[in-house]
């Protein structure tokens, strides 16, 4: 299915009218100009993930969540690493570049003070565009391969509202008058947040970082969010907003186009000592915490098998 487009496959499965009404608007808002070349494998896995969350077709979905959110996992990992010998954790420490000696990792150079940390092995968990920037001074031919992966950025609004918008966890939106293609009402999944009848909602916009909306100020984005939610539930307005936060990421979603499998890099790279984990490698699965943990464990096993610690 990697060699088929989602548009062609879905149209064949459900007919042109159903595709035009349901899937075309969702894919257009999600992927913009790339909507008609998204791989059928990617959309198949999205459908598969939802359907397998039900024990029977007409039963409710079953989803898990982390009490306290992702910080629960991150803090536990941080605490365990701190108890280990020979582990040095640095935060707020940007890396300027990865220095190579031929085809071998030699060191990393930190931004700011240009400190050099000698090393023979690096596991990169950043997006591939950012990794390419760190390797650019090396002019290694591997740069061309990883730069084939294109990404969409995301602008995400997190809102605390005075009441729920709906009684559902995930709502897809394909109304042309609403600029976002869905929203997630997290408090309808995790009902132990201690917020009484209030609601926690997040709304992602996927778009190119060069698009005008990516640079909208926070208040303009909030107004758009509330206007869209108001069309779904007229009780939601700006007076209902008890708090909000806008976040942005330039490389949030890999554009999984037809033939994407050939572009996905291996965990071991042609540069000796450089290993990669990136969300593009989840393909055809979408981005989840479970997939991130699974990839981390996979690369750790590869690392261990190669006995590359020295």
- In this predicted structure, what is the pLDDT of residue 29? 84
Give the burial class of 271: count Cβ atoms within 10 A of its Cβ; 0-12 exposed, 13-18 middle, 19 or more buried: buried
Other CB atoms within a 10 A radius of the CB of residue 48 amount to 12
**Cα 109 → chain centroid:** 27
Rounded Cα gap, residues 249 and 108, in angstroms: 24
Would you place residue 122 in the very low, low, confident or very high pLDDT band (cuts 50, 70, 90)? very high
Other CB atoms within a 10 A radius of the CB of residue 113 amount to 9
All structural domains of the chain: 6-51 (no CATH), 71-150+256-306 (3.50.50.60), 151-254 (3.90.660.20)
Over range 295-304, report the average pLDDT.
Answer: 90
- In this predicted structure, what is the pLDDT of residue 307? 64
Would you place residue 141 in the very low, low, confident or very high pLDDT band (cuts 50, 70, 90)? confident
Residue 292 or 309, more confident: 292
3-state secondary structure of 118: strand
pLDDT, tens digit, 9 for 90 and up, residues 1-17: 999 999 999 999 999 99
Over range 122-151, report the average pLDDT.
Answer: 87
pLDDT, tens digit, 9 for 90 and up, residues 182-225: 999 999 988 788 788 899 999 998 999 999 999 999 999 999 99
Say yes or no to pLDDT of 230 above 90: yes
- In this predicted structure, what is the pLDDT of residue 309? 54
Q: What does the H/E/C string look like for 180-248?
A: CCEEEEHHHCCCCCCCCCCEEEEEEEEECCCCHHHHCCHHHHHHHHHHHHHHHCCCCCHHHEEEEEEEE
- In this predicted structure, what is the pLDDT of residue 308? 57
Residue (of 130, 118, 129, 228) closest to 177 by Cα position:
228
Residue 279 CA neighbour count, 13 Å, CB half: 19
8 A C-beta contact, residue 153 and residue 208? yes
pLDDT, tens digit, 9 for 90 and up, residues 79-111: 999 999 989 999 899 999 999 998 899 999 999
């Amino acid at each position: 299915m990697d060699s088929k487009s989602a548009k062609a496959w879905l149209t064949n499965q459900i007919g042109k009218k159903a595709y035009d009404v349901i899937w075309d608007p969702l894919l257009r808002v999600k992927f913009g100009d790339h909507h008609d070349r998204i791989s059928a494998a990617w959309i198949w896995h999205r459908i598969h993930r939802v359907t397998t969350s039900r024990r029977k077709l007409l039963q409710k979905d079953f989803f898990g969540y982390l009490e306290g959110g992702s910080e629960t996992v991150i803090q536990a990992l941080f605490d365990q690493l701190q108890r280990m010998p020979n582990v040095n954790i640095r935060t707020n420490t940007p890396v300027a570049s990865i220095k190579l000696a031929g085809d071998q990792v030699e060191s990393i150079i930190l931004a700011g003070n240009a400190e050099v940390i000698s090393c023979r092995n690096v596991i990169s968990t950043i997006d591939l565009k950012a990794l390419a920037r760190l390797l650019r001074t090396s002019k290694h031919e591997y740069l061309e391969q990883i730069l084939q992966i294109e990404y969409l950025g995301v602008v995400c609004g997190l809102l605390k509202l005075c009441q729920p918008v709906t009684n559902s966890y995930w709502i897809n939106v394909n109304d042309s008058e609403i600029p976002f293609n869905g929203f997630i009402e997290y408090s309808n999944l995790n009902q132990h947040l201690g917020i009484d009848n209030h609601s926690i909602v997040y709304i992602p916009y996927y778009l190119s970082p060069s698009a005008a909306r990516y640079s909208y100020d926070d208040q303009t984005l909030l107004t758009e969010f509330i206007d869209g939610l108001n069309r779904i539930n007229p009780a939601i307005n700006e007076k209902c907003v008890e708090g909000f936060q806008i976040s942005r990421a330039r490389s949030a979603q890999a554009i999984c186009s037809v033939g994407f499998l050939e572009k996905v890099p291996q965990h071991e790279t042609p540069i000796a000592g450089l290993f990669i984990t990136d969300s593009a490698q989840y393909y055809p699965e979408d981005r989840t915490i479970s997939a991130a943990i699974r990839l981390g464990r996979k690369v750790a096993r590869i690392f261990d098998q190669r006995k590359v610690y020295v």
